[in-house]
Amino acid sequence: MIRRIRHRHFVAALTTLTGLLWSFGASADWTLNMRKGVTSISQEVYSLHMIILWVCVVIGIAVFGVMFWSILHHRKSKGAQAAHFHENTVVEIVWTLIPFSILIFLAVPATKALINIESTGNSDLTIKVTGYQWKWRYEYLDEGLSFFSTLEAKSNQARHLRSGVDVATVDNYLLDVDNPVVVPVGRKIRFLTTANDVIHAWWVPDLGWKRDAIPGFINESWARVEKAGVYRGQCAELCGKDHGFMPIVVVAKEEADYRKWVEEQKAAQAAALQADNPDREWTKEELMAKGESVYNANCVACHQTDGKGMAGVKPIAGSPVATGDVADHIDVVMYGRAGTAMAAFSQLSDAAVAAVITYQRNSFGNVAGDLVQPSTIKTEYR
């Protein structure tokens, strides 16, 4: 019986090993080592890793060498006799000193690297990174720029069952965003990482570190990207059902291109702010048009195009909230419904909130007839 099980295990192990070797040969860019990355920190971490790896290799070879040599040369068939001594001061000192000096030898570069990773002073610019369920927000504190970065639309469509979009046709599936975080090459960038709801973690392997994004705390880190390019990462803290759908894209540009991007963003933001102005009186047509696009971008995944909802999601069509007291309707959208999938949407602009509510009250057969002005949201709900 035991024999048979062993035999089966042996065959299974052999099959796995063959499979591994096969896949190794099949994909040429399949490497086993850690990546070098594109920042000074990532390269320091890489060389530290290499030093420690080689020290471990030497120790491994020495220890196993002595062990196998002893097993071979002092085997029973050779008539080996065990030594019978107790305590040996020389041996004890030697096997304390050797590991001790190896640890000290490794602690020096490791401590240097750690101190360097924590040295966020003298930075050229600061970017605040905030994790949300399930997207990232980037604020360029020196430029007054700020935007959200969410999963790119085609990936987002393809990830849904029966969406009709084949994931094989989507480039960088689940690794692309609508608004990447753009950084200048060669400058020291300080990142301030936090979160708005639950714990997330901002992780771009090519930068060489990973930072927890914790509500109520601000964690500091820094990077100096040495090569222009596109670097991808992901949220690295299990943060809820869409944890796998909040990727990170860092685009490093040469200084001049970076400046150009900043100016373009500023102009676009100013224009959007003007169009979104909550202080003016909006017409019903304006609110309905904007409301429809806000609905399609933020609500349709659950409430559906016909407003009828789906399993577990209350319909908007004929909803007592969307046809009743407007204050209740605003409450649901601004604060969400605790304990349900209906999240708070207060991060939307005043105009977006007012418009989507107006749209819901006057679509899908609802005829509440009333409008919500952006100024109401601004003055009474912020």
> What residues line the site for Cu ion (CB under 5 A)?
200, 235, 239
> Which of these segments, 139-147, 189-197, 280-288, 296-304, binds ligand HEC (CB under 6 A)?
296-304
Query: Which residues make Cβ contacts (< 8 Å) with residue 105, sequence separation at least 6?
Result: 55
Encoded amino acid at 151, one letter: L
Backbone angles phi, psi at 128, to 5 degrees: -95, 130
Contact partner, 301, from Cu ion, ligand HEC, none, Cβ < 5-8 Å per class: ligand HEC
Number of helices (H), then strands (E), in the chain: 11, 10
- Among 252, 242, 241, 230, CA closest to 174: 242
Contact segment (CB under 6 A) with ligand HEC among 45-53, 160-168, 276-284, 328-336 equals 328-336
Nearer to ligand HEC, 129 or 321 (CB): 321
Nearer to Cu ion, 239 or 322 (CB): 239
When CB distances are held under 5 to 8 angstroms depending on the partner's kind, the choice from ligand HEC, Cu ion, none that residue 239 binds is: Cu ion
Give the nearest distance from C-beta 310 to ligand HEC in angstroms. Answer: 9
Selection from 138, 145, 108, 140 nearest residue 123 by Cα? 140
* Position 319 contacts ligand HEC (CB under 6 A): yes
Please say whether the beta carbons of 40 and 226 come within 8 A. yes
Token duo for residue 13: 């192990």
* Alpha-carbon span 69 to 120, nearest angstrom: 51
Q: Kindly state whether residue 375 participates in binding ligand HEC, applying the rule CB under 6 A.
A: no
140 binds ligand HEC (CB under 6 A): no
Task: Please report, as a single letter, which amino acid is at residue 314.
Answer: K
Strand-pair category, 135-140 with 209-213: unpaired
Asked whether position 345 contacts ligand HEC by CB under 6 A, the answer is yes
312 binds ligand HEC (CB under 6 A): yes
Give least dist CB 235 to Cu ion, A: 3
Residue 329 near ligand HEC by CB under 6 A? yes
Those residues with Cβ within 8 angstroms of residue 205's Cβ, 6 or more apart along the chain or in another chain: 35, 37, 231, 233
Q: Which does 302 bind (CB under 5 to 8 A by kind): Cu ion, ligand HEC, none?
A: ligand HEC
Residue 354 interacts with ligand HEC (CB under 6 A)? no
* Partner from Cu ion, ligand HEC, none binding residue 235, C-beta < 5-8 Å depending on class: Cu ion
Nearest-5° Cα angle at 287, 282 to 289 = 135
Per-residue x/- marks for ligand HEC, 171-190, CB under 6 A? --------------------
Q: Pick from 41, 213, 252, 333: which binds ligand HEC (CB under 6 A)?
A: 333
- In the bound state with Cu ion, the residue whose beta carbon lies nearer, of 200 and 361, is 200
Report the amino acid identity of residue 331: D
Cα four-point dihedral sign 158, 159, 160, 162? positive
Tokens of 34: 């850690």
- The shares of helix, strand and coil residues in the chain, as percent rounded to the nearest 5, are 45, 15, 35
Longest pairwise C-alpha distance within the chain:
101
Question: Would you say 215 or 240 has its CB closer to ligand HEC?
Answer: 240
Q: Give the shortest CB-309-to-ligand HEC separation in angstroms.
A: 7
Choose, by CB under 6 A, the member of 48, 113, 251, 302 that binds ligand HEC. Answer: 302
- Residue of 51, 110, 342, 368 that binds ligand HEC (CB under 6 A): 342
Q: Which CB sits closer to ligand HEC, 79 or 339?
A: 339
Rounded to whole angstroms, how far apart are CA atoms 375 and 210? 41
Q: Report the interhelical angle of 89-118 vs 40-73 (nearest 10°).
A: 160
Residues that bind ligand HEC (CB under 6 A): 298-299, 301-303, 312-314, 319-322, 329, 332-333, 337, 340-342, 345, 356, 360
